[in-house]
Chains A and B, each alone.
Chain A
């Protein structure tokens, strides 16, 4: 990791709420820019608002930077500015090298053109040369798994095929800086895995990533550093853990307020806890007979006992237990506070046990992550590798992701008739 690849300094961007005014302003800006006059873009005109205000951050070469925030917080606008689609209204955006964007893949496809023709068209639009597309054509087609449909107009493609081909082209354009906007939730599971693998390959080639998402799992497992946005302003820059905790805190606060229930006290700036205040001594996995085990069967009960020592009193904490699968995808996340469990305080030695009556996972190795947060969501304990379990699906071998706790009722014909009556 070395030189700076992307730098934003004091960048702001405004939008206009009214279409009619937007037209008028547009004409005026064209005239002013043409005549060599400044368009005074740093001043708000009537019905304009700042979608982004005074944003400054840098991304170094090879770094994976996450942008997180609620809808409308300005993170997608940041991507458009880095991509050069829009100009900032104040400040400066500097980008080094070729920028690739995975933003709504397949945006440049034409329905009447065949898959082959669209690969060439889309490649050209994404800034590839004829030679580059030719060289990578086979890789692209193989990656997209479209097989015999290569010479079929893409309007006859299934939506999955369409997206796969779009991703395949975009993923092969050799960028120095790659912008990713919520596109990873496409295609079937197998293809999604392949996408992640391809993105990891790009990272190994020292490509700088900027990922936008409001999915905490994506951000947590893919980024080195995170910028948190709140209503167009930068609320925080720092480690993914801290940024996510601040994000979750702001969300939970909004939800509680919206529900008309208890309003949080002003963001508690209570006694800040040090990492050494709290220590996880041991994490034990237990089966239904309270025996220690790390191999479980699908549907079996599981308990995870967390033994700890709190050197300082920690009031109203929450425990967060997350399961990650072998691809590092977040499968399950449980938060004690959101489950309505209030833990008054942690003091001295103690234990908290997370229990499930039926393990909802199929065969594979899973990683359990434990985070303990204090009342202001600041993590006091962070154990990404709290435990590992191996799940054996037994006879049942399936591609399904989750096992649902369930039962079957087998009824006889008379019973159905009786029920109908």
Chain B
């Protein structure tokens, strides 16, 4: 028998082991817990929709209401959505669907640890799996909303570009960004509960600040701001690719994707280093 057979717990564990082993550990943990992630996702899904008549169709209610409001405002001449070359409902619902990946995902992930509090303090299991599994709700809602987009495309006789087949690839950056941020937020929310409340407000505010339900204005403060808004590129460019097959902001998209990946790697490492310390404050 050697030291290697033992699991060792001591303060500043990772400092002693060094950062090199970090990502190997993370990878093997996630790989080992694939089934757990699926089970946790299933639990979230069932808990949300089981005692409900229309079940996951609720996922299309929110975008329909938001977009409906904008259509009414637009019709009344109160609000100008800018020039859009496809039917507005298609444009807006598709935007909302991609945005929803971020909005639903960040709220769900930030609550992932706190909601499982009693379990975390009694059973030692993979906490990363909890955060990853909580992304599932947003993904499922996206699939349902995509169904709505297809219905609208048929209704308006609009033909999307062939890039629509690349959807799984196009949404990777926004998923990575959300999950990365989610790792950090779930930790912070474990220590300070204000985080989840704050995020719910910020996400709503950001939705109106980001050109999703309207076209990006060409001049003014909002145009400048959108130029630095990572979420604008991560949502608008996939939408442009799906609808038109091209986008004016491909460079912004690639840059944003790189930033998203860096955030992801960084926050995943932070999570790995501090998850146990946070567990005792939940």
A binding-site residues for B, Cβ under 8 Å:
3, 7, 15, 22-23, 26-27, 29-30, 33-34, 36, 38-39, 41-42, 80-81, 83-97, 99, 101, 103-104, 107-108, 110, 112-113, 117, 120-121, 124-127, 129-130, 153
**B42 contacts A121, C-beta separation under 8 Å:** yes
**A91 contacts B278, C-beta separation under 8 Å:** no
Docked Cα-Cα span, A356 to B119, in Å, equals 48
Q: Nearest Cβ in chain A — how far from B62, in angstroms?
A: 22
Given A107-B118, A112-B51, A113-B46, A89 contacting B11 (CB threshold 8 A) = yes
Residues in B neighbouring A26, C-beta threshold 8 A? 190-192, 277-278, 281
**B276 contacts A86, C-beta separation under 8 Å:** yes
Given A23-B191, A92-B8, A99 contacting B277 (CB threshold 8 A) = no
26 cross-chain CB contacts under 8 A: A22-B191, A26-B277, A26-B278, A27-B188, A30-B188, A30-B270, A36-B19, A38-B11, A42-B11, A84-B124, A86-B276, A87-B9, A87-B10, A87-B276, A88-B10, A89-B11, A96-B1, A96-B5, A96-B7, A101-B123, A107-B123, A112-B50, A121-B40, A124-B36, A125-B40, A153-B50
**B277 contacts A30, C-beta separation under 8 Å:** yes
The total of interchain contacts (Cβ-Cβ below 8 angstroms) comes to: 143
Docked Cα-Cα span, A336 to B43, in Å, equals 56
**B39 contacts A93, C-beta separation under 8 Å:** no
Docked Cα-Cα span, A87 to B191, in Å, equals 16
**B279 contacts A86, C-beta separation under 8 Å:** yes
Residues in B neighbouring A120, C-beta threshold 8 A? 39
**B12 contacts A81, C-beta separation under 8 Å:** no
**B47 contacts A129, C-beta separation under 8 Å:** no
**A87 contacts B122, C-beta separation under 8 Å:** no
Given A29-B277, A84-B124, A93 contacting B192 (CB threshold 8 A) = no
Interface hits, B261-282 → A, CB 8 Å: 269-270, 273-274, 276-281
Residues in B neighbouring A124, C-beta threshold 8 A? 35-36, 39-40
Residues in B neighbouring A86, C-beta threshold 8 A? 276, 279-280
Interface hits, B1-19 → A, CB 8 Å: 1, 5-15, 19
> Is B64 an interface position by the 8 A CB rule?
no
> Is B120 an interface position by the 8 A CB rule?
yes
* Additional A-B contact list (20), CB under 8 Å, known A39-B277, A86-B276, A121-B39: A3-B1, A7-B6, A15-B280, A22-B191, A26-B277, A30-B278, A34-B270, A36-B15, A38-B15, A84-B9, A85-B120, A85-B279, A86-B280, A96-B5, A97-B5, A103-B123, A107-B123, A112-B46, A112-B50, A125-B40
**Minimum CB distance partner of A98 in chain B:** B7
**A87 contacts B118, C-beta separation under 8 Å:** no
Given A27-B192, A39-B12, A113 contacting B43 (CB threshold 8 A) = yes
Number of interface residues of B (CB under 8 A): 46
Docked Cα-Cα span, A99 to B125, in Å, equals 11
Docked Cα-Cα span, A245 to B150, in Å, equals 76
Q: Nearest Cβ in chain B — how far from A196, in angstroms?
A: 22
Given A30-B270, A34-B270, A38-B15, A87 contacting B43 (CB threshold 8 A) = no
Given A27-B192, A88-B9, A125 contacting B274 (CB threshold 8 A) = no
Docked Cα-Cα span, A103 to B43, in Å, equals 22
**B43 contacts A92, C-beta separation under 8 Å:** no
Residues in A neighbouring B11, C-beta threshold 8 A? 38-39, 41-42, 87-90
> Is B187 an interface position by the 8 A CB rule?
yes
What is the predominant secondary structure among interface residues of chain B facing chain A?
helix
Which 10 residue pairs are nearest across A and B when measured between Cβ atoms? Answer: A26-B191, A124-B39, A124-B36, A93-B9, A94-B6, A92-B10, A107-B122, A41-B11, A84-B124, A30-B274
Interface hits, B179-212 → A, CB 8 Å: 187-188, 190-192
Q: Nearest Cβ in chain B — how far from A84, in angstroms?
A: 5
Residues in B neighbouring A7, C-beta threshold 8 A? 6
Residues in B neighbouring A95, C-beta threshold 8 A? 6-7, 9
**A23 contacts B9, C-beta separation under 8 Å:** no
Residues in A neighbouring B158, C-beta threshold 8 A? none
Docked Cα-Cα span, A104 to B273, in Å, equals 27
> Is B121 an interface position by the 8 A CB rule?
yes
**Minimum CB distance partner of B280 in chain A:** A86
**A125 contacts B9, C-beta separation under 8 Å:** no
Given A30-B187, A39-B11, A110-B47, A96 contacting B6 (CB threshold 8 A) = yes
Listed residue (B15, B47, B281) with the most chain A CB atoms within 10 angstroms of its CB: B281
**A22 contacts B6, C-beta separation under 8 Å:** no
Q: Pick the residue among A89, A103, A112 that contacts B122 (CB under 8 A).
A: A103
Residues in B neighbouring A88, C-beta threshold 8 A? 9-11
Q: Nearest Cβ in chain A — how far from B108, in angstroms?
A: 16
Docked Cα-Cα span, A89 to B36, in Å, equals 29
Given A92-B9, A108-B119, A101 contacting B124 (CB threshold 8 A) = yes
Listed residue (A89, A92, A110, A124) with the most chain B CB atoms within 10 angstroms of its CB: A124
Residues in B neighbouring A42, C-beta threshold 8 A? 11
Residues in B neighbouring A129, C-beta threshold 8 A? 35
Docked Cα-Cα span, A30 to B191, in Å, equals 10
Docked Cα-Cα span, A107 to B120, in Å, equals 9
**A83 contacts B277, C-beta separation under 8 Å:** no
Residues in A neighbouring B12, C-beta threshold 8 A? 33, 38-39, 41
Docked Cα-Cα span, A39 to B40, in Å, equals 32
Docked Cα-Cα span, A202 to B227, in Å, equals 63
Q: Nearest Cβ in chain B — how far from A149, in angstroms?
A: 17
Given A101-B124, A112-B51, A87 contacting B8 (CB threshold 8 A) = no
